[in-house]
Amino acid sequence: MIEVKDLSYAYPGTDNQVLKKISFDVRPGEFLLVMGRSGSGKSTLARALCRLVPDFYGGHMSGQVLYQGRDLREWEAQSLSASIAMLFQEAGQQIIYNQVERDIAFGLENLGMEPSLMKRRVAEAMDFFDLGSIRHKNPVELSGGELRRVALAGVLVMQPRVLILDEPSSQLDPLAAEEMLNWLKKLNAEMGTTIILVEQRLDRAFPMADRVLLLEEGRLVFDGAPSRQPVWAKKDAYPLIPTVSYIMSDLEASDLPLTVKEGREMIRRRIDQAIIWPPDEISGPEPASHILPGGGEWPEAPFIHALKDPRPSRKANQPLLAIRGLRYTYSRQSNLIEDLSIRIDSGESVVVLGANGAGKSTLLRLISGILQPTRGSIKINHGGINRTERLSQCAYLPQSVEDFFLRDTVMEEIRLSIGSKPGDPSYWMECMGLTGLASTDPRKLSVGEKQRVALACLLASDRQLLLLDEPTTGVDIEWRGMISDCLRQACLEQGKTILTVTHDMEFASETASRVVFLHAGEIISDSPVSDAFADNLFYTSQAVRLFRGFDDSVYKPSQARTFMARLIKQED
């Protein structure tokens, strides 16, 4: 269906090729997973497959992309858009109208579809994605996950033969992400739609893909079956593999498990042969949390030592943030936040979990001062401060980093955050792996690179309260681990307090000391991360799923890997 021949591409104003001599084909009805580090060229490749590169973005392209045997450039735009559709990484960029139902119909209107058929298709798409309750809403009132469902509905009403999706699950809660991927699987298996999925959340995507493409610095370095990729990664000490494969990567096996079911069966077989269970009494050093599958180590993150910064840390257990009786109401709607109270002490790292639309992002906006509560109090450092003062007390990372940047280079952006106090932007660029991007416009970076620029800015500031909304969107597994280390060190060494909203369960398990579960604007539970993950069925980590019933104290990937290393040592 699609043939890519020696494809190379450079964006306007640079000779640096983002794609370099890439060749592969896609068969009709295939489910293709495209993976790679942040900035490896995945999104650019997706754009090239639907002619956005170079038609919309400009730049210089060489090589060919053929669809049904014809060069993409020979197709009329209307025919091509009806056959190949794409869901962008930033779903909000695809929203045109100020009403959900109207926006879903937009693509069909451009195709000149007859009104009665258009109405039927729109109704069918809204039912499929359960959008009936928000059909008349303005998209600006929707959560990031709801926006993504609306954007996908607007794409699928056109009934494309090829559907390209750029990280569609990145801002979805675990249940919604599972549902999203099940929709894609159904479209592929039952309707014959060819799926090309660019994704960083590998755990769910791997088992349903027919084939995996892996990009590294713009080159295609792996093209094969999902079951072979972890074996290849282990051999080459490559860090991007599904969590279950990572946890089990010390095993001497020809195939590493991809799913929890496969992993549990391997653990069960080894438990049956165990001399000591659980294997806590086995002596020897525990493996570091960042050992690669092949036994090598990730480069040591400079911030592990460098964050031992001269700024004084606050005393532990001093309340930094106190919220009491908080309520917030959108106009003409029921309360989104209802009688919410919470205390967060200085130096804590607290993660907020919950479904899309539960009020998590709204809570961060209320704390930061962007929104004004309908009722209740928000105090920082014991003071009842007003909205303007709160803006000066907090450093806030919004869900869409497109709204974050104010300067034209990475260096200037970080320097702006440092302000008049002493500080070196290059220090923070090194911490977040941005040294080679100092003079680059942050808006032109990949989403994962933008997240790292934004986090560098927040850490460089003198704000003690960091509010992070989905900080791992677009971030690969390698940098997710490093960012987690960095945030923990910021709490321990700088005394910063961090409140994070995330749907990334592995990141939450490694980063948080406490988990708050928000449902319909109310706090349902507030507990240590180990207790929260052990008790949860859906909002939990792959490590918990693997070891549930074997050892219920295991809840994060680094623990699980240590456990497996001890078991393997016992066998030896």
Contacts of 178 (CB under 8 A, 6+ apart): 204, 538
State residue 280's pLDDT score.
60
Element (H, E) at 541: none
State residue 130's pLDDT score.
85
| Amino acid at the residue 335 | N
DSSP state of 562: H
Task: Dump pLDDT digits (tens) for 234-246.
Answer: 888 898 999 999 9
Contacts of 457 (CB under 8 A, 6+ apart): 395, 404, 413, 414, 416, 417, 428
Contacts of 41 (CB under 8 A, 6+ apart): 18, 19, 215, 217, 218
Domains of the chain: 2-224 (3.40.50.300), 237-299+564-571 (no CATH), 307-539 (3.40.50.300)
State residue 333's pLDDT score.
60
State residue 423's pLDDT score.
75
| CA–CA–CA angle 59, 60, 64 (5° rounding) | 125
Task: Dump pLDDT digits (tens) for 392-442.
Answer: 889 999 988 887 899 999 999 999 999 877 778 888 898 899 999 999 999
Each of the 572 residues of the chain gets a pLDDT tens digit; together they read: 999 999 999 999 888 999 999 999 999 999 999 999 998 999 999 999 999 999 999 999 999 999 999 999 999 988 898 899 999 887 778 889 999 999 999 999 988 899 999 999 999 999 988 899 999 999 888 877 788 889 989 999 999 999 999 998 887 888 888 888 888 999 999 999 999 999 988 999 999 999 999 999 999 999 999 999 999 998 888 989 999 999 998 887 678 899 999 999 988 888 887 666 666 643 344 444 444 444 444 434 333 333 434 333 444 556 899 999 999 987 666 668 989 999 999 999 999 999 988 999 999 999 999 999 999 999 998 666 777 778 788 999 998 888 789 999 999 999 999 987 777 888 889 889 999 999 999 998 988 999 999 999 999 998 999 999 999 998 998 899 889 989 998 998 888 999 999 999 999 999 999 999 999 999 999 999 999 999 899 999 999 999 999 888 999 998 898 888 877 777 66
Instruction: Return the residue matching tokens 């709801």.
Output: 146
**Cα 397 to Cα 468: distance, rounded to the nearest angstrom:** 5
State residue 523's pLDDT score.
96
**Cα 458 to Cα 215: distance, rounded to the nearest angstrom:** 30
Cβ-contact 346, 464 below 8 angstroms: yes
State residue 146's pLDDT score.
83
C-alpha distances out from residue 48 to 41, 67, 272, Å:
10, 12, 51
DSSP state of 481: H
User: What token pair was written down for 7?
Assistant: 């494809």
State residue 331's pLDDT score.
65
**Cα 155 to Cα 105: distance, rounded to the nearest angstrom:** 9
